[in-house]
Amino acid sequence: MLAVTLLAGLTAGVGFWLGARGGAGISLGELTAAGLNAAAPAVLLLGFAILVIGFAPLWTSMLCYALIAWSFLLDILGSAIHPNHWVLDTSPLQHLALAPTTDPN
């Protein structure tokens, strides 16, 4: 599953590069890094699911969907209600770099 997730991010980066070859001025390396950066929350969710399967297999789907819903809720409402940064840091989507415009470090 991890290999498929990383391959999807890599494929997205290469696909965007192929689509933007017409003069966007973005290199293949930058867009590949951006695609892998976008796969990071999925890798975190996969690790969380494996952890939950080990301790409470019946709760895995509910807890994973709760993490996804919480992340999207904070991503959508975070700019409108301005919660504490400690609350925003609980969402994996808040830690993404806006690659390729910034360095996905």
What is the mean predicted confidence (pLDDT) over 44-73? Answer: 95
- Over residues 5-30, mean pLDDT: 85
Percent of the chain beyond pLDDT 90?
A: 44
Q: How confident is the model at residue 60 (pLDDT cuts 50, 70, 90)?
A: very high
Residue ranges making up the domain that contains 34: 2-95
Q: How far is CA 94 from the centre of its chain?
A: 9
User: Quick one: average pLDDT of 42-71?
Assistant: 95
Q: Quick check: 19 pLDDT over 90?
A: no
The whole-model pTM stands at 0.80
3-class state of residue 27 by DSSP: coil
- Looking at the domain assignment, is residue 41 inside a domain? yes
Number of domains comprising the chain: 1
Q: Which of 105, 82, 81, 78 is nearest to 94 (CA)?
A: 78
With 0-12 / 13-18 / 19 or more C-beta atoms within 10 angstroms meaning exposed / middle / buried, residue 60 is: middle
Domain-embedded: residue 85: yes
Let me know if residue 100 belongs to a domain.
no
Domain membership of residue 103 (yes or no) is no
d(CA 95, CA 92): 6
